[in-house]
């Protein structure tokens, strides 16, 4: 597995990470715990060293799973987790909304440290920007935690360019986690130039468009009520039918490269910048191995131009989130 560094921080991780959320949270069926532990071990064996979780996934159950599974590999893997939601650190009750008050951050981190079974969190993200707490206060709280040896690196998620700059001025930001893929390219306008200027890495989540870019989601597929796609405007049957042109493009390039559409979508992301590390989520070994294969797919400048020319003529139908969900991002 190739390695990459997240910006100028020196934090080195595998070129692909692994999003762990769906192992315990989200759409049914949730994975069997022992199967998921074995799966995480298999990921490490195949060279994955970067794992993504959050206290809100459960709450708490995802961190507990990741902590237990990766304890034997302590010091050999990088675990990223997140705070930001108004979750009682003792009971796990989610009161809804955001809470990035400095004292709440520090209490949340104590819980994450115990669940992850580590002495310091490798990468701590603010999961969503809290409009009620100045980002300077958030960065200051994480700076305190770094100085106390409880956190190693600071990250933001779905933050806008000015928020990133303000936070970075207080405590250097190692990475921004944000949605980015062939069919969600909004970060290219302001976010990516800002990250490049400041030396911050980008960790794209949903790099396969919540499964759509694998080519395995058609207009006839139905989703469980607790599947985020069941409420996504991008996943109405009409939008899926209209957006099939994106899959047709990936299919044609995949055929040339003897790859799969998912591998082309991930290879395209990897080719954008050397400090981009996608974190596709997976619970199946064959999907994990398929995703890892993307690291060896070489897209030439001509390939990238062909993709760019074709995708620029496609308008993806439907927003990625509902209006309420989008308001919780800082973009």
DSSP track, 200-216: -EEEEESTTTTTGGGT-
**pTM for the predicted model, two decimal places:** 0.94
Residue 232: what pLDDT? 81
Residue 129: what pLDDT? 97
| CATH architecture for segment(s) 3-209+268-297 | Alpha-Beta Barrel (3.20)
Residue 28: band (very low, low, confident or very high) from pLDDT cuts 50, 70, 90:
low
Of 90-94, 238-242, 260-264, the one with minimum mean pLDDT is 238-242
The C-alpha atoms of residue 26 and residue 281 are separated, in whole angstroms, by 12
Is residue 230 pLDDT above 90, yes or no?
no
Residue 195: what pLDDT? 98
The domains of the chain are located at 3-209+268-297
Residue 199: what pLDDT? 98
Residue 326: what pLDDT? 65
Q: For residue 83, which of 97, 64, 104 has the smallest C-alpha distance?
A: 104
Cα–Cα distance list, 79 to 52, 66, 154, 240 (Å):
6, 8, 12, 34
Is residue 330 pLDDT above 60, yes or no?
no
Residue 323: what pLDDT? 72
What integer is the mean pLDDT of 301-306?
A: 94
Share of the chain above pLDDT 70, in %: 97
Q: Which of 57, 125, 180, 205 is catalytic?
A: 57
Look up 57 and say whether it is catalytic: yes
């Amino acid at each position: 597995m190739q390695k990459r560094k997240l910006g100028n921080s020196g934090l080195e991780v595998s070129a692909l990470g692994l999003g762990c959320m769906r192992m315990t949270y989200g759409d049914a069926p949730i994975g069997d715990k022992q199967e998921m532990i074995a799966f995480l071990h298999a990921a490490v064996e195949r060279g994955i060293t970067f794992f993504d979780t959050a206290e809100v996934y459960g709450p708490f159950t995802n961190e507990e799973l990741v902590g237990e599974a990766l304890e034997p590999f302590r010091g050999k893997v990088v675990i990223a987790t997140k705070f930001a939601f108004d979750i009682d650190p003792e009971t796990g009750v989610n009161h809804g909304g955001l809470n990035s008050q400095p004292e709440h951050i520090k209490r949340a981190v104590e819980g994450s440290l115990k669940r992850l079974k580590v002495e310091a969190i490798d990468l701590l993200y603010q999961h969503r920007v809290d409009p009620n707490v100045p980002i300077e206060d958030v960065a200051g709280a994480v700076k305190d935690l770094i100085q106390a040896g409880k956190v190693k690196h600071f990250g933001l998620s779905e933050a806008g360019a000015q928020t990133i700059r303000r936070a970075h001025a207080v405590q250097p930001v190692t990475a921004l986690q944000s949605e980015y893929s062939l069919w969600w390219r909004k970060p290219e306008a302001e976010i990516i130039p800002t990250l490049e200027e400041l030396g911050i890495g980008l960790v794209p989540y949903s790099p396969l468009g919540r499964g759509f870019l694998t080519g395995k989601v058609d207009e006839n597929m139905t989703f469980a009520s607790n599947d985020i796609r069941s409420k996504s405007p991008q996943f109405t049957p009409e939008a899926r039918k209209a957006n099939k042109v994106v899959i047709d493009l990936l299919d044609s390039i995949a055929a040339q490269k003897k790859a799969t559409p998912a591998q082309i979508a991930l290879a395209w992301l990897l080719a954008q910048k050397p400090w981009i590390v996608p974190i596709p989520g997976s619970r199946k070994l064959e999907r994990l191995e398929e995703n890892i294969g993307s690291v060896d797919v070489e897209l030439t400048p001509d390939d990238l131009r062909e993709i760019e020319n074709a995708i620029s003529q496609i308008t993806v139908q439907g927003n990625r989130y509902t209006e309420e969900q989008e308001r919780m991002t800082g973009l």
